[in-house]
Amino acid sequence: MLDRLTEYFFPKQVSTFAGDIDNLFFFIFYSSVALFFIVVFGMIYLALKYRHKKGEELELTSSKDHSNLLESLFFIIPLILVSITFVWGIRSYLKMVIVPDNAIEIKVTGQSWFWTFDYPDGGTTLNELVVPSNQPIKLVLSSKDVLHSFFIPVMRSKMDALPNRYNVMWFDATQEGVYDIFCTEYCGTGHSQMGAKVIVMKPAQYEEWANELGSDDDSVPLDELGAKLYTKKACNTCHTLDGSALVGPSYLQTSQMWGQERVFDDGTSTVIDENYIRSSILEPQTQIVAGYQGVMPTYQGLLNDRELDALIAFLKSLNEDSQI
């Protein structure tokens, strides 16, 4: 019964957390249906039972206008239901935001009106996101112009793509297939056509596909480009790759601290992530790492978005290299 209802209400469940979200839906759904029938049957029953029949005298009616028991029930029952909903909603939500460590990272860029996907091994696709099944995929979203929103109904996941910062979403596809992607933040004339497809392949098949894509070599992979920029943009003057401190903190150290807190000279701290790296390149004076001088110039205007992505990818790749 529930399965058939799920099929009727929802698109297929393809991500690992889709089932959980659908269950949450059905919990609220059944509670709501129950409350709704109480309200509507109560209403119809009372309205009919106490209807004013033709020819009946107008009378003084009951002065009853409260009942402590009922009133406390009005508070307590909805309160219990919404508390469960809230906690369930948050628990499921946390599953949706905590990206597994082994996730493959794909850069998603929205632009009026198409999506571009940059793969970790180099190569770019347009309006076709190809991913392996049973493998966490992390999408780092941004936009080149106005707001867009990246929505994969079968994964039950969605996130806005913004022009000035990165947003992250992830999923782990459980079934191979081709599924819809929609843009759900209004972005102008072509908004309704800004669809794409996600193609979920068996891992082996994906491997093959990715190799082929990489060998095309029409665009340099992000981290390789980053390695070039590292010297080309003179980052190496102040930041080393071997962990030793020069004028600024070493890339290796930053990379190894990925996801951890970094403390600044004013006592505040931030988790090292894409947004932090981006802002520390564009706004180096905002947060100065404790123990260093704030002398770095801003790179605003010197690096385009892809180059920023590249540097971030390069920095992140250092950590994995050292572990090998």
Partner 1 sequence: MSNHNSDSPKHLKHYFANVDQQYETSKFAMWAFILTEVLTFAGLFVAYIVFRSWYPDMFVDAHKLLDVNKGLMNTIVLITSSLTMALAIWAIQKNNRKLSLLMLIATFVFAFCFLGIKFLEYSHKFEVGQLPGEYYSYMGPEVVHLNNPHIFFSIYFIMTGLHGLHVAIGMGLIAWLIYATYKGNLSSEYYTPMEMIGIFWHLVDLIWIYLFPLFYLIG
Partner 2 sequence: MSENIKQNYLNHPKGLMSWLLTLDHKRIGLMYLVSGILFFFLGGLLALVMRMELAAPGNDFISNETYNNVYTLHGAIMIFLFIIPAIPGALGNILLPLMVGAKDVAFPRLNLASFYIYSFGALFAMYTIINGGVDTGWTFYTPYSTQSTSNVVPMTLGIFIIGFSSILTGLNFIATVHKMRIPGLTWYKLPLFVWALYGTSLVQITATPVLAITMVLLILERFLGIGIFDPALGGDPVLYQHFFWFYSHPAVYIMILPAFGIISEIIPVHSRKKIWGYKFIAYSTLSIAFIGFLVWGHHMFTSGQSVFSQIVFSFITYFVGIPTGVKIFSWILTMYKGQVSFTPPMLYALSFLFLFTIGGLTGIFLGAVALDIHLHDTYFVVAHFHYVMQGGTIVAFLGGLHHWWPKTFGVMYNQTIAKICAVGVFLGFNGTFFPQFLLGLRGMPRRYATYSEEFVELHSYSTFWSGILGISIFIAVMNLFWSFIKKNKVDPGSNPWGAMTLEWTHTSSPPHPHNFEEEPVLEHGPYDYDKVIVEKTYK
What is the number of other CB atoms lying within 10 angstroms of the CB of residue 143?
Answer: 25
Q: Provide the 3-class DSSP secondary structure of residue 253.
A: helix
CB 226, min distance to partner 1, A: 23
Pairing of strands 177-183, 196-201: antiparallel
- For partner 2, the binding residues in 92-111 under the rule CB under 8 A are 92-97
CB 102, min distance to partner 1, A: 34
How far does the chain reach from its first CA to its final CA, in angstroms? 50
Return the residue of 283, 291, 293, 302 that touches partner 1, per CB under 8 A.
283
Interface mask (CB under 8 A) for partner 2, residues 15-54, using x and -? --x--xx--xx--xx--x--xx--xx-xx--xx--xxx--
CB 147, min distance to partner 2, A: 6
Rule CB under 8 A: say whether 14 interacts with partner 2: no
CA angle (92 as vertex; 14, 12 as ends), nearest 5:
20
DSSP letter (8 states) at residue 102: T
Q: Which lies closer to partner 1 via its Cβ, residue 84 or residue 282?
A: 282
Rule CB under 8 A: say whether 300 interacts with partner 1: yes
Rounded CA-CA distance 297/302 in Å is: 11
- For partner 2, the binding residues in 119-158 under the rule CB under 8 A are 145-147, 149, 151, 153-154, 156-158
Return the residue of 174, 176, 191, 256 that touches partner 2, per CB under 8 A.
191
CB 279, min distance to partner 1, A: 9
Rule CB under 8 A: say whether 286 interacts with partner 1: yes
Closest among 172, 155, 157, 118 to 140, alpha carbons compared: 118
Please give the backbone phi and psi of residue 179, each rounded to the nearest 5 degrees, phi first: -130, 160
